[in-house]
Amino acid sequence: MKRGVLAGIAVLLGALALPVLGRVQGEEGGGAWGRQEQGMGPRLLAMLENDRVRTELGITDQQADRLRQIVVDTEKFSVKTRAEIVVRSMELRELLRADKPEREAVMKKVQEISDLRGQIMKQRVDSLLATKAVLTPEQQKKVRALLEHRDAPRAGRERFRPQPPGAPAGPPEPPAPPPVEPPVK
């Protein structure tokens, strides 16, 4: 299997499955998870245009159109809801700035934020289920097999690590063995 096909399939499923496990952070614009997620929708849409991925999985034009619509709908919902979380988080911050914050108002705002986060999670699970409904059981098996193959350890391959300018290319040389002293008689 080509590395690009595997990466494409991972993006295809990861865009809808992984965010279910993530968390949304309010006023920081999504935190590290939010930044990672922001580019997932466009990448998934690009993968649906990749003929090799579609051929490998046997995705029809109708399936690709439906998957594309699921991604767009999920992305739009997530963007709108994350924006609401940011606004509500700002409101919570302002409530908490008071010398004597009103407990009931603070807890109500916390519940609103929690409800919005729950809505995002439900939407993503619904999107994952809808995606699975679009793919045939055979296509789902292929995806699982490809992902398992992709996650298997790769013998003899080292990850690329950027080297400082002027450093030799390739993995570092192993250290020289210590000198052996001749035996004393």
Q: What are the start-end ranges of the E strands in the chain? A: none
Decide if pLDDT at 19 tops 50. no
Task: Compare 80 and 15 and report the one with higher pLDDT.
Answer: 80
Q: Which tens digit of pLDDT belongs to each residue from 27-66?
A: 334 443 343 344 456 666 777 788 888 888 888 999 999 9
Vertex 65, ends 60 and 70: CA angle to 5°?
125
87 neighbors 52 (Cβ within 8 angstroms): no
Separation between Cα atoms, residue 67 and residue 98, nearest integer Å? 47
Separation between Cα atoms, residue 112 and residue 92, nearest integer Å? 10
Q: How many CB atoms lie within 10 A of CB 81?
A: 16
The pLDDT of residue 113: 98
Give the distance between the most distant pair of CA atoms in the chain: 88
Q: Which tens digit of pLDDT belongs to each residue from 105-164?
A: 999 999 999 999 999 999 999 998 998 899 899 988 877 776 677 666 665 554 444 555
